[in-house]
Structure formats: structure tokens, C-alpha cells
Amino acid sequence: MITRTPVIDARDLSKTFGSFIAVNHVSFSVFPGEVFGFLGPNGAGKTTTMKMIQCVSPKSGGSLEVFGSEAGIYQRSIKQRLGVVPQETNLDTEFTCFENLLVYSRYFNIPRREAIRRIEELLRFVQLDEKRDVLIDRLSGGMKRRLVLARALINNPDLLVLDEPTIGLDPQARHLIWEKLKVLQAQGNTIVLTTHYLEEAERLCNRLVIMDNGKILVEGSPAALVSEHVGSDIVEAEHSPEVIACVEDMGIHYEVFGDMVQIFTDNPREVAKKLFDTCNPGRVFARRGSLEDVFLKLTGRVLRD
Amino acid sequence: MARGAYFPNITRSAWKVWRRNWDVFFKTYQVNFLPPFIEPVLYLLAIGFGLGMFVGEIDGVPYVEFIAPALIAISIMNSAFFECTYSSFVRMYYQKTFDAMIATPLALDEVIAGELLWGATRSFIYSSVMLAVLIAFGVVDLPLSLFILPFSFLAGLLFAGIAMCFTALTPGIDALNYPTFLFITPMFLFSGTFFPLDVLPGALQIIARGFLPLTQVVTVTRSLTLSEYSPYLLYSIVWIAGITVLFFFLSIHLMKRRLIV
């Protein structure tokens, strides 16, 4: 294994609000060129972790280094190299797309001429060049998110932090954002993102962690996590006493979710055949295991919020 | 962190926050410039000339000239106060403008400092417009009244700092009505604005002279527009300077306590 200098290095990082522990001794490293995901139900501590990385929220314990500098001390120099897409779209509604990026470029001390060149380039990149002089109120939700992404890129960041980049978007708008993130990834950018959308994590992330109650439950690549925790495939059958008796007989691992029985296996054909041969399973589905199965298995099906 | 809490982290970058608000202001100048024009004209006509008919003179000064400097002082107070309460609260809480800014190299201290400087600038802009109207009506002395221009920025910064403390402490935008009605409205009436403080009972005079910022501001603007030296002038200037510095830093401290969690 080659040792690389991590872009983010967290050791025993904690964050408490009074007696509430939002982030509980988490350790992780993000390396250059990686897309690293934080997954977890509401209140898992994802956004709190993002805010500590962005140097806007002080940690309560442990250590957190970004670009090799302690996040709590070198805020200004770290933030100069960071691009942030916040969960809430906080564009200046009084300004046009172009003006939003221009005002933002000043905060990074980018000279005006250079800023204008970059803005035109970024507006083309997020396909908003035709909306250059349109006020924010006139943009769709997807356009606003793309503009926030462009804004986050204004300083050519060495690390891009995305908190729920596609929240509330329709599938078309979401796919367009994914496409842009894929381009950024291919260019070698380091990206950290949080998401609720497991498909998003599966498509984009090289590595990810699943968090719950402030702790990291597992870490790995999406494929490795799926094969480790659910196997390659899942066979689903209707939940009936016969089916349960059957799978118990077969001695394979299963779980009951509502009116379905799920069997995690690397051998879906054989399991399905056995089910049909030996019991009366009604409907049977076989499908690939997904990150969503890992997520639900680890964090449970109890509703959060 | 404790150290950072008492020594604000402010560089010239605060002016970029100021510049953002300046840009927004001039994008919507049509709605922004009318009120400071209309308001003094209405007050001058209704109170200065209308009510003034019955009042006649105060200390040998025609009533309309007595209230003219008070109108400027009130405008300085209102423009900075409302900018740094309701408008700043909207930017902080609803538009998340502060969050967007602190995701850049800007520190929160600079964001708040920029907001305060902008509040003071609004006082400057509005009182300048108003001064022009009052000059046109011939109710203020020249050239001494022109000193109101730089003074309005300092006095504006005073009210901006006080306002920002309320913004840092308020639970929501509706609760900002309390300082408006319990602090701004009484000041509007009892700061030597429409009648001399001497006619108030002794205790109220002491409160007005000792604790009401608008009293100090009226004392200064009136000395300038009437070319009249009053023994309170120096006291008022020192009072304003000291309290401005105090609230400038206090408001930044309270805002950090609210927003950096």
C-alpha cells in the first residue's frame, strides 16, 4: 500500500451540543482524487461533520486536519482552498447568475478580470450560460443547484464539499448534476459528499461511510460493502408460514420485512429453484444486492426525524 | 476559542460584505431612495409648518428649524437600526447569506463588521438626501450643517451596533418588534426631538441625557444646523464614540455566540 497524504484526516473527531453527542469519536481519511461519501439517516451527524470540515463549526474533541492543517486554527487558509455546496440553496436572490458568482469571487480575492473569465467558463460548464443575466427567482430548482455548484468551483478548490447536492430535484435535474460531478471526478478533483440517495452514493463514491447516531458503522467501497453485508444477490418471496418453514429447512440466512422474506445469497438461481421445488412461494423475485439493502440492514427500518 | 471570542478577527475583507449590500441597494434604488425624500417633507409640512404655527418659537428659534436637525437624527437612527435588525435578520436567518459568506475565507467577525459598516452607510445615504431637502427648504445653517455628513456615519454605526445586539439575541423576527416599540419609539419622542428636554421632569431628563443615544445625536445635529454651541455637545460626541466602540464589539461577540456552534 502506497502511503499518500490525506486531504482530510479525522481522528476520534467528536462534536457535542450540550449533552447531545452529534458526532461520536469518528475517524476517517479522504485521499486526493477520491469521491468520499457520508451516508446515514437524518440526525446521523453527517452535516455536523461537514461543517467541521468546512471550518465553520469548532470540534469538541479529537483531531481534524484538512490539507494537513488543523481545521480549528487555520480556518482562513483552508477555506481559501475549499468549495462548498450547502444543503440549503443560499444564493443572493437580488442578483443574476453572473452577479452571484462575481460577488462570491470577491470573497476569495479573485481579481475581477480573472473572475469574469472563470464565471463565463463555469456557467457554460453547468449549462447556465443562457441564463447568465437572469435573476435567481426565475430559475428552476435544478438550475439553482447547478449555480451553487458553479459558485463552489469559483476558486478552483482543492476539495469540494457537497451536502446533499441533489436534494429535492427531479430525476432529470439530478442526472445532470451527477454528470457534472462525474466530470469533476474524472478531472481528479477530491470530493466529499453527504447524501440520502443511495443510488447517488453508489454511482459517485469511490469510498463511503455509513453513519448512525454520530458513529461510523462501516467504511468501504460501495461494491465491497454490498458483497460483505448482503451478498451479491437477494431473493424475495412472499411472507407465509410455508416459506418460512422452507427456508428454515434449507438453513440459509433470511430476514422478514413486512410481507416479504428476503434471502441474502450469492446463488440466487439455486435458492429460487429450491423455493419453487419444495414449497409454494407465490411470487419470487431475484435481484442484485444494493447499497440500500446494506443501509437498511445496518441502520434498521425504524423511521427517523 | 475563548481568545478568538474577545479579539475579533477582522481584516479589510469586511468591506467585501459591505460591498455586497451596497450592490444590492443600488440594484433596487428605485424603492430605496423615495422614502428619505418624502419623509422629511411630510414632517416639515405637518409638524414644522402646521404645528409650528401654534408653537411659534422655542428658545428664540422658529419651530421648523428646531425640529429639522431632529428629523435628520431620527433618520440616522431609523436607517441603521432597521437595516441591522430586520434586514440583517432576514439575511442571517431566511436567506442564509451569512452561511454562504463564511464558507469562503471570510470570518464571521468580518461578515458582522461589514453589516455594521453598511448600516452606518445607510444612515449616511439617507441623512444626506434629507439634508439636501432641508437645505432646499432653507431651514438649516450652512456650511456648518455639512458636518452632518461625516457625523451621520459615526452615529449610524452606533445604532447599527445596538441593533445588531438585538438581532443576535432575538428568538425570531417578530420579537424584533419589542426593541422597535420599547426602545426606538420612546427615543423618537423623548430625546429632545420635538420639544426641549428642559420641560421634562428631572428624572426623565437624567435618563434622556444619560442613556438615550438619540438625545446625544440630536444634540450634535442641532448644534450644527443652528450653528450653536451647547455645553452638552462635547459630552455627546464622547458618549457616542465610546458607546459605538462598545456595541460594535459586543454585537460581534454576541453574533459569534449565536452562529458559531
Nearest to B96 among A54, A57, A88 (CB): A88
Q: Tell me the residue length of chain B.
A: 261
Nearest to A108 among B100, B105, B260 (CB): B105
> Measured between CB atoms, which of B19, B24, B107 is closest to A106?
B19
> Whole-angstrom Cα distance, residue B9 to residue B72?
33
Contact between A201 and A223 (Cβ < 8 Å): no
Looking at the 3D structure of chain A, how many domains does it have? Answer: 2
> Going by DSSP bridges, is the β-strand pair A35-39/A191-195 parallel, antiparallel, or unpaired?
parallel
Please tell me the distance from the alpha carbon of residue A88 to that of residue A47, in angstroms, as a whole number.
Answer: 11
Buried b / exposed e along B181-201 (16+ C-beta atoms within 10 A) = eebbeebbebbbbbbebeebe
Query: Cell 458526532 identifies what position?
Result: A23
Check whether A299 has a pLDDT greater than 90: no
Within-domain flag for B36: yes
Mean pLDDT of the residues in chain A: 91
Q: Is the dihedral angle over the CA atoms B53, B59, B65, B68 positive or is it negative? A: negative
Cβ contact, residue pair B103, A79, below 8 Å: yes
- DSSP state, residue A58: -
Give the lowest-confidence range in A153-162, A213-222, A279-288.
Answer: A279-288
Cell 438625545 sits on residue: B215
Closest CA to B88 of B63, B59, B64, B116: B116
* Look-up of cell digits 452561511: B99
Quote the domain boundaries for residue A256.
231-289
Q: Is residue A300 part of a domain?
A: no
In a domain, A294, yes or no: no
Is pLDDT at A116 greater than 90 in this prediction? yes
Q: B260 and A76 in contact by Cβ < 8 A?
A: no
Same domain for A60 and A89?
A: yes
**Residue B48 within any structural domain of the chain:** yes
Q: How confident is the model at residue A297 (pLDDT cuts 50, 70, 90)?
A: confident
Question: Is A301 inside any structural domain?
Answer: no
Quote the CA–CA distance of B130 and B137 in Å, as a whole number: 11
A244 shares a domain with A207: no
pLDDT band at A302 (very low <50, low <70, confident <90, very high): low
Q: Is residue A253 part of a domain?
A: yes
Listed in sequence order, the residues at least 6 apart from A30 whose beta carbon sits closer than 8 Å to its beta carbon are A6, A7, A8, A9, A36, A159, A190, A192
Chain A contact set for B13 (CB, 8 A): 107, 109
ipTM over 0.85: yes
Residues A38 and A166 in one domain: yes
Alpha carbon distance B120, B128 (integer Å):
12
Residue A100, chain B, CB below 8 Å: the answer is: no
B231-242 burial, b for 16+ CB within 10 Å, e for fewer? ebbeebbebbee
Chain B: closest CA distance from residue A164 (Å):
15
Instruction: Please report which confidence band the pLDDT of residue B1 belongs to, taking 50, 70 and 90 as the band edges.
Output: very low
The CATH number assigned to the domain holding A24 equals: 3.40.50.300
Q: Are residues A166 and A59 in the same domain?
A: yes
Is A216 part of any domain? yes
> Which member of A79, A93, A95 has the closest CB to residue B104?
A79
3-state secondary structure of A302: coil
In a domain, A28, yes or no: yes
Domain span holding position B172: 12-259
Chain A contact probe: residue of B104, B118, B259 with most A CBs at under 10 A = B104
A79–B99 CB contact, under 8 Å: no
In chain A, residues with a C-beta closer than 8 Å to the C-beta of B96 are 86, 88, 90
The CATH number that applies at residue A261 is: 3.30.70
Q: CA nearest A80: which of B175, B103, B199, B141?
A: B103
pLDDT, position A104: 97
B interface mutation test: which of A75, A90, A163 has the most B CBs within 10 A? Answer: A90
Task: Determine, yes or no, domain membership for A15.
Answer: yes
- Condensed to tens digits (0 to 9), the pLDDT of residues A183-231 reads 999 999 999 999 988 889 999 999 999 999 999 999 999 999 998 888 8
User: How far apart (Å, rounded) are the C-alpha atoms in residues B177 and B49?
Assistant: 31
pLDDT in tens, A36-88: 999 998 889 999 999 999 999 999 999 999 999 999 899 999 999 999 999 99
CA distance readout (Å), A142 to A127, A136, A167, A168: 11, 12, 10, 9
Smallest CA–CA distance from A157 into chain B, residue:
B104
Q: Say how far apart CA B10 and CA B8 lie, in whole Å.
A: 6
Cα angle value B165/B257/A10 (rounded, 5°) = 155
Count of domains observed in chain B:
1
Residue where a domain stops, chosen among A177, A195, A221: A221
Round to whole Å and give the CA distance between A173 and B185: 50
Contact criterion met (CB < 8 Å) for B105 and A84: no
The pTM score is 0.92
- Are A248 and A209 within one domain? no
Residues A287 and A57: their CA atoms lie apart, in Å, by 42
At B15, the pLDDT band (50, 70, 90 cuts) reads very high
A112: chain B residues, CB-CB within 8 Å:
none
In a domain, A111, yes or no: yes
Clarify whether residues A158 and A238 are in a common domain. Answer: no
What's the gap between Cα A34 and its chain centre? 13
Greater pLDDT, A266 or B99: B99
CA-CA-CA-CA dihedral for B144, B150, B154, B160, to nearest 10 = 120
Give residue-wise pLDDT tens across range B227-246.
Answer: 988 888 999 999 999 999 99
Domain co-membership, A216 together with A238:
no
> Hey, are the CB atoms on A57 and B260 less than 8 Å from each other?
yes
Note whether A113 and A148 are same-domain residues. yes
